[in-house]
Amino acid sequence: MGARFGLCELAAAIFALALRSPLAAQQPPALEPAAPIACELLADTDGDGCVELLVITRAGLVTRHALGSDGAFRAIGALQLSDPTHSLIAVADVDGAPGEELVCCDSTGTSWLPFPGADGVARPAVPLARRARCTLALGQPQASSFTQDLDQDGRVDLLVPSLQGVTPYRQEALAADGSRSFRALDRLVTPVRARVDDPGLERDGRPVRERTGSFVVPRIETEDLDGDGKPDLLTREGNVHAFHLQDEKGGFRAPRTVDLAQFEDSTPKAAVAPGSTLVLGDRQLLQRGDIDGDGIPDFVIAHRRKVWTFLSSKDGPQFTKAHTQAVADDVSAVLLADLDDDKKADLLAFQVQVPGIGALLLGLVQSIDIDIKAVGYRSEAGAFAGAPKWRRTITLRIPPILQLIGKQDELLAKVQAVADKARLGVRGAFTGKGRSDLALVRSDGLALDLHAMDGQAPTLASAAGRRLMRRVLFEDPNPVFDLDRVLTLVGGFLDEVSGGLVGDTPPVASTPLRDAKQWRLGDLLVGAFDGDGLADVIAVYDRVDDGSLPAKDLPLRAYERVRFAAK
Amino acid sequence: MPPYCQAQEQAALAAARTRDDARYRAGCAIATTTALLLAPLAAQTPPQPTVMTIQLPETTTIADVVEQDVDGDGLLDLVLATRNRGERAAAVQVHLRAKDGAPFAASPSRPPFALDRDVVAVAFADLLPAPGRECVLLTPERAVAATFAADGSPEYTPLGAIQLVWPAVARGQAILLDDACGDLDGDGDDDLLLPEPDGAAWLRAEKEPLRWSLPAWRNPATAGQNGATGLRFDGSRLEAQLTFDDGDAEAARDNGPLARASFRTPTMRRIDLDGDGAVEVVAVRNDKAFVARMRDGALQASAITLPLPADRLIAFDPAFDVQFADCNGDTKADLLLTTSARRGDELEVRVDLFLARANGAFGDKQDARLRVQTLAVPPQLVDCDGDGVLDLALRTVKLDALRAFNGEAPTSIETQLTIFRGAGDRFVQPAMLATVLQVAARQDAGQPYLRVLHAPRGQAGSVLLREDDQLLRRPLAADGRKLRLDPPDCAMPLPKGARLQAANDAKEAFVRRAHELTHVRLP
């Protein structure tokens, strides 16, 4: 009897502990495809109101998975991409029926790809725009944001990247027969970044261990430049910036351009003491921010000691009427930021002085100082005050390089400790409809915490960043920053941001994550899988590479539905 | 240089510079060839080398220069990759080497070959029946051989589908691959070894390409914990990628680029590791040397775990270097491994020699070790004393001199050139030579240059170096068991902003400027 009582008591205690324990969670079986993965997407491709997980392998096999009643993933159809090494993949509603379609842009054009029906028979791709082709050497399928409603007319447009820029294909109104058509607009020039390793290094007798090559076609920058509530486009080619304003019909007007090279301060470049310091940068700089508080971004161009301020209006940006002013020192960088919280952007000019080559070489064995002069001008009456309101020189002290290299283990440990404070998180209605709960990786990386939140969680990055900048530049009594102070500052900033997101409230539930030595959490996906109206979290893990497989057979991934016990 | 020669050269250069652009655009590279007579009797002035200058129009810059036997006559020809700034057009031009007289013609030996915008790299290999080596154009995904028809029009022959490690052209200029062509399988025909992501493609005439796949590059810093930050040392760069997230995953996804690609692969070197007369391809990555042997039309892959010291700097080692060379004359390649370690507050560089065993493997413990200060450049294995055995030349930074510096920043720093005699199984201490050299540390100073030149059998070698805007050759002279660095026996002034590039022949070098290439042949 006693024993039975003891067992019951023990069972009750375990049950109570399980209920209370933040680690109480049910882990359904994971999906671990055997093939190397290129990317994954969540989309409701069958229009049933529940999302499916689309897993795309490097070879271009797209497998659709739904969640079964047991919480495990169940494959419900697959299709093969015809040109996987050039395929950009997105999900978008392009057929008007409930749900979203898998859209693929490759070297043959842009189509949407229907999954096989219940009979398992493959269905042909549905062409959308044959001329919208991607010929970039991607190497494997890639998820991309190339389907966007650029003009916000409710129809998805296409942004097709190339090494020369981005060509928008605007979706026209539906034809009478319900067919869709896309019209190519002029190519937008974007600063495509392509890099290759320098063969000259090897020829100079400096061996190159790894040969590298890369390119990035950035997204088209958009912002409402004329206050009409519609996004306008910003592009750049070298020194020439172009602004494409959206018209009433959803098209884009001929761009307004400004060539920064025309803005030259005739003041000679800052003198340099031989062998001592150099002022970084002698190029024209363009920044935008709301200087007069009318909600429309204005522009500032700076070169050496001269600053041109251009106020924009409902007609958009203009670069003819400027307010010019001189600043005290040559400008290495400018920033428009609201330093005094009056909702108007103030001007922050930096002059960075770096040591010359001789001093840098001395830096092998001696610490070197990099001086950063920061001068802030308050915004007033649609321009900036003539005299600076904030001014200080801070010094970045770099310890002897050889000492740094010798103590790299300690340095790396410190940097890693700071870096570990940056945490991955996702928002969703996890605990109730309409909520914006936060699932945030715990600072030790061992678990995923669920924080229940009402409404939108605060976005603190910009506010906290502004506060940190003001404190560092103008308020901190000690203007010398060594590496330890910098790391402490960054760590404190990350703590502040994370703390600001979740406050002191403990998580309502937690679930353990896999051991990062075997499987490292790479991403968290959010979607409503089971039709209960609540969002689910999918943890995406990368198998840690032990060197036993060739790179072409990696990465191997695992997908795990995270179930919080309190849900 | 005799005064009349100087005047001639200056006049020719001035004339070349003032020629109108239209003539430049006509594709006629204007060049000045000057064969300078040495002045053997001018005891005060060192003799000057023979130089030949290729000058390009102001709008055309030299992107790359390599030597390669293009016409198959056994002589290394000159290949220039150029880029026209205005037209944003890249081209390749070839200057064939002459057997006698001036080595190169000033103007290209054949019309410059204009490159399409998607050509990332260019190599030369004899893969078609046409005589000589074809110009192989490499786009990120295709290899195509270009030949010329009788009327001079280009003809293109596809060689195969590839995936180059470079997915796009950068800066509008092509890379010249001088290390891609070679007879890898010993069948007497050219093969092409092309860098692909995490591996290589082996292209052969009329055969399917073979592929060599390697493990992924492993971040030597740390992988970090779940969902946190990526830290990595990549060459001389520390990259920290903060995953700063306030939970709005959708916005983050929309903010991503429209397209991107990033690839890497270890540099492949061709070495006869086992002394069988056929080359192996060696790639060093993740503390291993991966080896590929091409035999009987198949690719045999293996790996050697490098015997790295446990106390070495792992995340970032500025001196890390791996070289294979036969140091003891048994025809098998030995391993010269350079690593750094922390010693108290100091940084110590260790140069370890591992001799190849009979089976080609290396022992866990080095056969010889040298401890030196911070290296300025990787070690150089070269026979300096003419005894037929490789010696070891090291250039170190004189840290003591730097530490003693208290005043303004220095305008030059001291480096030390140290040469250790190779004894086959070790490098003999004390060094044969230990001499201090100054290196300019001014903003306008050119890039430092020093190369120890191979000694002819029975004689001492020499050192080619840049000093105060001059290219100097200083002979090494035997002084008993020691070597002595003598004053220059050959000197040449260098134009401002010039960059020096070593040539295959120790007696030659290239002086590169934006629009000008000077071939230098030392007497």
**Distance to chain B for A343, nearest Cα, Å:** 23
**Distance to chain B for A111, nearest Cα, Å:** 17
ipTM confidence score: 0.85
Chain A interface test: which of B169, B245, B350, B451 (most A C-beta within 10 Å): B245
Q: Is the peptide bond before B430 cis (omega within 30 degrees of 0)?
A: yes
Q: Do B197 and A139 touch (CB under 8 A)?
A: yes
Task: Give the residue from B53, B56, B52, B50 showing the smallest Cα distance to B17.
Answer: B56
Radius of gyration of chain A (CA): 28
Positive/negative CA dihedral, A273, A275, A281, A282: positive
Taking a C-beta distance cutoff of 8 angstroms, is the pair B289, B282 a contact? Answer: yes
Candidate from B168, B245, B399 with C-beta closest to A194: B168
**Among chain A residues, CA nearest to B234:** A210
> Is it the case that residue B95 has pLDDT exceeding 80?
yes
Tens digits of per-residue pLDDT, B14-68?
Answer: 333 333 333 333 333 333 333 333 333 344 566 778 999 999 999 999 999 999 9
Chain A interface test: which of B225, B231, B238, B375 (most A C-beta within 10 Å): B225
- Tell me, letter by letter, the H, E, C secondary structure of A377-431: ECEECCEECCCCCEEEEEEEEECCHHHHHHCHHHHHHHHHHHHCCCCCEEEECCC
Tens digits of per-residue pLDDT, B208-227?
Answer: 889 999 999 987 766 556 65
Q: Do A551 and B214 touch (CB under 8 A)?
A: yes
Tens digits of per-residue pLDDT, A487-539?
Answer: 887 777 777 766 666 767 789 999 999 998 899 998 899 999 988 888 999 99
| Weakly modelled stretches of chain A, pLDDT under 70 | 1-28, 268-281, 454-464, 497-501, 503, 565-567
CA dihedral A135, A138, A143, A146 (to 10 degrees): -30
> Is it the case that residue B6 has pLDDT exceeding 70?
no
Candidate from A357, A408, A425 with C-beta closest to B247: A425
Positive/negative CA dihedral, B177, B179, B185, B187: positive
Residue B475 has a pLDDT of: 95
Residue B31 has a pLDDT of: 34
Residue A332 has a pLDDT of: 85
CA distance B499 to B448: 9
Which chain B residues are closer than 8 Å to A366 by Cβ?
402-403, 405
Q: Do B266 and A210 touch (CB under 8 A)?
A: yes
Residue identified by tokens 């300025």 is: B376
**Distance to chain B for A119, nearest Cα, Å:** 34
CA distance A383 to A344: 10
CA dihedral A399, A403, A409, A410 (to 10 degrees): -50
| DSSP reduced 3-state for A335 | strand
A142-143/A88-92 β-pairing: parallel
- Tell me, letter by letter, the H, E, C secondary structure of A541-552: EEECCCCCCEHH
Candidate from A195, A356, A364 with C-beta closest to B402: A364
A323-326/B60-68 β-pairing: unpaired
Count Cβ–Cβ pairs < 8 Å, chain A vs chain B. 324
CA distance A242 to A233: 8
- Helices first, then strands: H and E counts in chain B: 4, 38
CA distance A80 to A85: 12
Whole-number Cα distances in Å, A241 to A308, A318, A345, B277 = 15, 12, 21, 59
Q: How many CB atoms lie within 10 A of CB A496?
A: 17
What integer best gives the mean pLDDT of chain B? 83
Taking a C-beta distance cutoff of 8 angstroms, is the pair A542, A522 a contact? Answer: yes
Candidate from A134, A161, A516 with C-beta closest to B225: A516
Chain-centroid distance, C-alpha A190: 18
CA distance A57 to A33: 9
Which chain B residues are closer than 8 Å to A148 by Cβ?
254
- DSSP 8-state code for residue A462: H
Q: Do B168 and A524 touch (CB under 8 A)?
A: no
Candidate from A166, A403, A445 with C-beta closest to B345: A403
**Among chain B residues, CA nearest to A164:** B117
Give, for A285, the enclosing helix (H) or strand (E). strand A285-289
Which residues are CB-contacts of B4 (< 8 A; sequence separation ≥ 6)? none
CA atoms within 13 A on the CB side of A308: 19
Which chain B residues are closer than 8 Å to A276 by Cβ?
408-409
> Is it the case that residue B369 has pLDDT exceeding 90?
yes
Taking a C-beta distance cutoff of 8 angstroms, is the pair A155, A149 a contact? Answer: yes
CA dihedral B240, B246, B250, B256 (to 10 degrees): -20
CA distance A234 to A242: 6
Which chain A residues are closer than 8 Å to B382 by Cβ?
none
Q: Do B229 and A422 touch (CB under 8 A)?
A: yes
pTM higher than the cut 0.80: yes
Which chain A residues are closer than 8 Å to B86 by Cβ?
none
Which chain A residues are closer than 8 Å to B265 by Cβ?
210-211
Residue A66 has a pLDDT of: 94
Which chain A residues are closer than 8 Å to B225 by Cβ?
420, 444-445, 516, 520
Which residues are CB-contacts of B279 (< 8 A; sequence separation ≥ 6)? B182, B183, B184, B186, B270, B271, B272
Q: How many CB atoms lie within 10 A of CB B257?
A: 17
Q: Do A209 and B165 touch (CB under 8 A)?
A: no
CA distance B454 to B384: 6
Q: Do A213 and B243 touch (CB under 8 A)?
A: no
Candidate from B240, B377, B409 with C-beta closest to A358: B409
φ, ψ dihedrals at B127, nearest 5°: -115, -5
Which residues are CB-contacts of A339 (< 8 A; sequence separation ≥ 6)? A346, A348, A376, A378, A390, A466, A470
Which chain A residues are closer than 8 Å to B240 by Cβ?
415, 419
Radius of gyration of chain B (CA): 25
φ, ψ dihedrals at B488, nearest 5°: -60, 140
**Among chain A residues, CA nearest to B376:** A206
Lowest-pLDDT choice from B48-62, B94-108, B251-265, B491-505: B251-265
Which chain A residues are closer than 8 Å to B169 by Cβ?
163, 194, 196
Which residues are CB-contacts of A36 (< 8 A; sequence separation ≥ 6)? A57, A58, A552, A553, A554, A555, A556
Tens digits of per-residue pLDDT, B113-129?
Answer: 999 999 999 999 999 98
Candidate from B175, B197, B228 with C-beta closest to A445: B228
Residue B140 has a pLDDT of: 97
